[in-house]
C-alpha cells in the first residue's frame, strides 16, 4: 500500500556547506515518483520545516543546492521539490495544475524530518505553488511569497517569452481556455488560507509585475486574512547579494515568530 508523501528512494547529494547535509529524495505524489532536495543542519536539534518552492519551468529556475543550504543554515530543515517531469521525476510539469500536489505532498516528506511547524516559501512561479499549498493544507505555520506569481492569466499576458510554453501546457490562450487559467489562479480561493502570509516584491521586477503582489494583498485584505508586505522601491526580480542575504535573514526571523 503506497501513500502520498511516501519516500521511496534517498541518495546523498554533494553539499556546498560543510554544516549542511543534502539528500536527494524520491517521493510519491498522485502515484508519480517525484524528486526533490532535502537540506538538514548537521548540528543536533529540533528544527522547523521549510518547504522551498522553486520558480521557473523545467531547467529554468531549477533548485540550487547553495540556495536551499542558505535557508537551512538559518535553522530549518528544508525540502525543495523539483515538481513532476523534472530531473527524472515522472509526469509532466503543468505550471500549477495537478503538479501543485507535488508541493502539497512534499509537506508530508518534510514532516518525517522536522517538528510540527511547517513554513512554505515560494519564489517567482513558486509563489503560486506556495499559495495553493496553503489553500489545500490546514497544517501550515506561515507562507512567504517572494517576487511571486499570483495570477496565471496575468503571467501569460506579461511574459511574451513564456506564451508558447503556457499555451502548450495549459491548453491554449486565456482567451480560448479562461477556465484553465482561473483554475490555476489561487486568488479565487484565498479565503481557504489559514496561515499568515508575507509578500516580498521589488517595484522594478520585470519578470513578475508588482501587480501580482498588490492583487494578492487586496484579496487577503478582502478575506480578512493576516498578511504583511515588504515592497522594495529599488530592486527587481533578483535582489543583489547583500540585499538578498539581509532579506533571507529577515524573512526567516519573521517565520520563526509566527
Q: In the beta sheet, which residues pair with residue 50? A: 78, 119
DSSP state of 131: H
Cell numbers given for 185: 489562479
The residues that are catalytic are 124, 237
Helix spans in 159-240 (H): 163-170, 178-182, 211-222
H or E stretch at 23: strand 20-29
C-alpha dist (Å) from residue 156 to 17, 96, 146, 167, 189? 37, 13, 19, 9, 20
d(CA 147, CA 155): 12
To which residue does cell 483554475 refer? 183
List the one residue out of 81, 86, 58 whose CA is nearest residue 68: 81
H helices of 56-182, in order, are 65-72, 100-110, 125-136, 152-158, 163-170, 178-182
Distances from the Cα of 229 to the Cαs of 31, 201, 221, in angstroms? 37, 8, 11
Amino acid at each position: 500500500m503506497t501513500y502520498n508523501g511516501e519516500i521511496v528512494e534517498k541518495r546523498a547529494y554533494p553539499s556546498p556547506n560543510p554544516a549542511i547535509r543534502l539528500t536527494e529524495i524520491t517521493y510519491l505524489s498522485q502515484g508519480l515518483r517525484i524528486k526533490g532536495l532535502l537540506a538538514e543542519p548537521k548540528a543536533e536539534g529540533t528544527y522547523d520545516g521549510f518547504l522551498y518552492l522553486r520558480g521557473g519551468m523545467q531547467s529554468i529556475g531549477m533548485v540550487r543546492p547553495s540556495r536551499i543550504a542558505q535557508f537551512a543554515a538559518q535553522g530549518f530543515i528544508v525540502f525543495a521539490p523539483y515538481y513532476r517531469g523534472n530531473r527524472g521525476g515522472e509526469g509532466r510539469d503543468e505550471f500549477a495544475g495537478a503538479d501543485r500536489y507535488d508541493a502539497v505532498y512534499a509537506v508530508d516528506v518534510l514532516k518525517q524530518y522536522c517538528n510540527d511547524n511547517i513554513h512554505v516559501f515560494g519564489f517567482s512561479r513558486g509563489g503560486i505553488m506556495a499559495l495553493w499549498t496553503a489553500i489545500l493544507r490546514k497544517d501550515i505555520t506561515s507562507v512567504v511569497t517572494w517576487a511571486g506569481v499570483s495570477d496565471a492569466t496575468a503571467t501569460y499576458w506579461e511574459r511574451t517569452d513564456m506564451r508558447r510554453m503556457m499555451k502548450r501546457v495549459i491548453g491554449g490562450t486565456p482567451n480560448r481556455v479562461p477556465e484553465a487559467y482561473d483554475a490555476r489562479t489561487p486568488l479565487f480561493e484565498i479565503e481557504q488560507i489559514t496561515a499568515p502570509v508575507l509578500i516580498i516584491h521589488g517595484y522594478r521586477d520585470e519578470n513578475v509585475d508588482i501587480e501580482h503582489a498588490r492583487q494578492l494583498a487586496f484579496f487577503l485584505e478582502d478575506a480578512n486574512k493576516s498578511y504583511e508586505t515588504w515592497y522594495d522601491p529599488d530592486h527587481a526580480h533578483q535582489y543583489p547579494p547583500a540585499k538578498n542575504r539581509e532579506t533571507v535573514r529577515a524573512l526567516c526571523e519573521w517565520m520563526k515568530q509566527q
